[in-house]
Amino acid sequence: MADEKSHISWGFLLGLFYAGAGAVAYNFGSEATLLAFILVLIGSILPNLDSTDEGLTGELSGLIGAIAPILAINYFARSGVGITELGSVRMALIIIIGYSCSRVIFSYLTNNILANRGALHSIPSAILFSEIGFLSFPDLNWVGRSFLGIALGIGVLSHVIIDAFTNMTIVKKTVAKNAHSGSVIKFSGASNSATWILYILIVLLGWFVARDISPSLKVQSPVVVDGNRPSS
């Protein structure tokens, strides 16, 4: 298997290409382009969350813990509650609770649910993280959200592909010192329960993605005319 430095190196190059191509093709701004590059880079090491590397897990969980409160505050703002209306006390609670919950959730997942080179090292995990990336930026149009979501998914996919390449018998004897046998290009987790959870999350988040892309899929309340609801 490739080491962490190899994944980051390839993620860096892939991120430059993807962000640059998106900027040229869709004329994205500098901030969106830079974020896409960073998301590819982050995605290139995300599958290693299921490893025993506490340093990497801690860094990524800390990053998510910092981002989660911002997304929560953005949700309130989009719901009609301004940032100033939240108040300093409520904002402090959102930041502290969001950060703490993220750290606890990551710790629980890595220590109790995720298996080493399990569900996160699979093709469906790239789809799942693409959906998460899409849903993380609700204030953008669906093109911008897709651009950023795919960036995260591409990073994860690059990790899986590089692991598969360095796991080949012809390669691991000359390049990958820690390579071992076993399938890396896979569509399931290490257990049936992990596989079911993975696909259930993909379907669930996929519904929200489809609902945001196609407004016609959103459930609309019936129109009230003269105080009476129309018959179905």
pLDDT in tens, 183-200: 567 777 667 777 888 889
For residues 148 and 16, the answer to whether their CB atoms sit within 8 Å is: no
- Out of 57-61, 132-136, 179-183, 197-201, least confident range: 179-183
Which among 16, 58, 21, 22 is positioned nearest to 41, based on CA atoms?
16
pTM score of the predicted model: 0.70
Measured between alpha carbons, how far is 93 from 105 in angstroms, rounded to an integer? 18
**Residues with Cβ < 8 Å from 153, sequence gap 6 or more?**
43, 126, 127, 129, 130, 133
* Local structure of 30: helix, strand or coil: helix
- Mean residue pLDDT of the chain comes to 75
Other Cβ atoms less than 10 A from the Cβ of 89: the count is 8
Residue type, 148: L
Q: What angle do CA 15, 174, 177 make, to 5 degrees?
A: 75
Helices 142-165 & 192-213, crossing angle to 10 degrees? 150
Residue 206 has φ and ψ, to the nearest 5°, of -60, -35
Structure tokens at 121: 């090292």
Measured between alpha carbons, how far is 49 from 4 in angstroms, rounded to an integer? 11
99-127 pLDDT, tens per residue?
777 777 766 666 555 656 667 778 888 99
Q: What angle do CA 128, 133, 138 make, to 5 degrees?
A: 130
Domain ranges of the chain: 4-213
